[in-house]
């Protein structure tokens, strides 16, 4: 009986996130390196076929004559491999629904989560999708608001001695002012402006992680220990913000230029470094 050809995992070769996770899927499956390939390394006819099937929005698996995408592609790639049991569990409803939603949210916003080192627009750039993109932006805004609100509220507590609900009320009106320039772009345009807002909100959310790491522990401390914890969080958040902004600055500039041509007045992030 002839051996069956294993499915071939095709990933976006311009996407750092796709590179890392396709390698992880390969390890889980126990298959050799020949079972996955960047779309850039495919023969021209096969590459066109995969791109026409929607590679820009989700990874693909070539299985015989079939081209499968998204979570079903991942499950098909893992079935019959060392990770077969994992694939079968992931395919059970309602877990499959949750994984599909999570995958779609990440795949459609992967240029924000892990931007390439250079700006590019290729056949694998995700299509703008108001639902996926807006859900992602609103999620980032919630994380950013939580972190920046904690920074302001705990700062008033440990630095100014404010107590009780007053310090949280202070944060409740200051944080929206901080995020207003970003959130104001969300509803303005489906394409470039929304992606611009997503990139910048990612930087705010990255800072929020640091602020939460110092702000929340400071609530359980007092005196100098609370000040130190808050200070560590403030420094960590600032470093995370600057790192995220530096990586995304070329993309912010490119998107601002595109959006400005369509709708003058979008703030520019400045020239790329």
Query: Three-state secondary structure along the chain?
Result: CCCCCCCEEEECCCCHHHHHHHHHHHHHHCCCHHHEEEHHHCCHHHHHHHHHCCCCCCCEEEECCEEEEHHHHHHHHHCCCCCHHHHHHHCCCCHHHHHHHHHHHHHHCHHHHCCCCCCCCCCCCCCCCHHHHHHHHHHHHHHHHHHHHHHHHHHHHHHHCCCCHHHHHHHHHHHHHHHHHHHCCCCCCCCHHHHHHHHHHHHHHHHHHHHHHHHHHHHCCCHHHHHHHHHHHHHHHHHHHHHHHHHHHHHHHHHHHHHHHHCCCCCCCCCCC
Q: Looking at per-residue confidence, does 135 or 1 come out higher?
A: 135
- pLDDT exceeds cutoff 60 at 187: no
Is 39:50 a contact under the CB 8 Å cutoff?
A: yes
Residue 28 φ/ψ, nearest 5 degrees: -60, -40
- Domain presence at residue 122: no
pLDDT for 268 equals 38
Q: What percent of the chain has pLDDT over 70?
A: 84
Please check whether residue 6 is in contact with residue 31, taking contact to mean a CB–CB distance below 8 angstroms.
yes
Domain range holding 217?
130-262
Tell whether omega for the bond before 94 is within 30 degrees of 0, i.e. cis.
yes
**Does residue 69 share a domain with residue 145?**
no
pLDDT at 180: 67
Residue 272 has what pLDDT?
35
Residues 105 and 170 in one domain: no
Same domain, 95 and 169: no
With 70 as the cut, is the pLDDT of residue 83 above it?
Answer: yes
153 plus 203 within the same structural domain = yes
Count: domains in the chain = 2
Residue finishing a domain among 85, 113, 141: 113
**Residues 95, 148 within the same domain:** no
In a domain? residue 124: no
Digit-coded pLDDT (tens) for 236-254 = 999 999 999 999 998 888 8
Considering the domain architecture, whether residues 107 and 181 belong to the same structural domain is answered as: no
Is 270 among the domain residues?
Answer: no
If you compute the radius of gyration of the chain from its CA atoms, what whole number of angstroms results? 22
Is 3 part of any domain?
A: no
Regarding whether 73 and 152 lie in a shared domain, the answer is no
Average pLDDT over residues 147-156: 87
Buried b / exposed e over 82-115, threshold 16 CB at 10 Å, is: ebeeebeebbeeeeeeebeeebbbbbbbbbbebb
Determine if the pTM surpasses 0.85: no
* In a domain? residue 71: yes
Identify the band that residue 262 occupies on the pLDDT scale cut at 50, 70 and 90: low
Position 203 in a domain: yes
Same domain, 13 and 77: yes
Flag whether 268 is in a domain. Answer: no
Q: Residue 1 falls within a domain, yes or no?
A: no
pLDDT digits (tens, 9 = 90+) for 166-184: 677 777 777 776 676 666 6
Among 52, 80, 113, residue at a domain's last position: 113
Domain co-membership, 190 together with 254? yes
- Considering only CA atoms, which of 77, 98, 97 is closest in space to residue 87? 77
Q: What is the pLDDT of residues 18-67, one digit of tens each?
A: 999 999 999 999 999 999 999 989 999 999 999 999 999 999 999 988 99
Q: At what angle do helices 130-160 and 192-219 cross, to 10 degrees?
A: 30
Domain-ending residue, one of 81, 113, 145: 113
Q: What number of other Cβ atoms are within 10 A of residue 169's Cβ? A: 13
Q: Clarify whether residues 162 and 192 are in a common domain.
A: yes
Give the bridge partners for 63, in sequence order: 66
Phi, psi of 189 (to 5 degrees): -155, 140
> Do 138 and 48 belong to one domain?
no
Q: Say whether both 83 and 13 belong to one domain.
A: yes
């Amino acid at each position: 009986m002839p051996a069956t050809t294993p499915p071939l995992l095709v990933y976006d070769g311009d996407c750092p996130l796709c590179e890392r996770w396709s390698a992880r899927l390969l390890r889980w499956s126990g298959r050799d390196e020949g079972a996955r390939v960047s779309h850039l390394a495919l023969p021209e006819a096969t590459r066109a076929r995969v791109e026409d099937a929607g590679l820009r929005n989700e990874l693909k698996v070539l299985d015989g004559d079939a081209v499968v995408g998204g979570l079903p592609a991942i499950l098909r790639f893992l079935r019959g491999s060392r990770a077969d049991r994992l694939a079968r569990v992931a395919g059970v409803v309602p877990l499959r629904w949750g994984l599909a939603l999570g995958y779609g949210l990440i795949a459609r916003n992967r240029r924000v989560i892990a931007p390439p080192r250079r700006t590019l627009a290729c056949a694998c750039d995700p299509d703008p999708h108001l639902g996926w993109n807006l859900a992602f932006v609103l999620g980032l805004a919630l994380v950013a608001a939580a972190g920046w609100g904690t920074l302001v509220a705990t700062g008033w507590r440990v630095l100014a001695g404010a107590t009780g609900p007053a310090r949280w009320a202070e944060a409740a009106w200051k944080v929206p002012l901080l995020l207003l320039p970003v959130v104001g772009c969300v509803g303005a345009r489906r394409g470039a402006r929304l992606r611009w807002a997503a990139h910048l909100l990612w930087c705010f959310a990255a800072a929020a992680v640091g602020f939460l790491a110092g702000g929340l522990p400071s609530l359980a401390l007092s005196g100098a220990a609370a000040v130190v914890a808050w200070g560590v969080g403030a420094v960590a958040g600032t470093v995370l913000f600057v790192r995220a902004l530096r990586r995304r600055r070329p993309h912010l500039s490119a998107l601002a230029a595109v959006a400005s041509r369509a709708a003058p007045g979008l703030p520019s992030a400045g020239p790329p470094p």
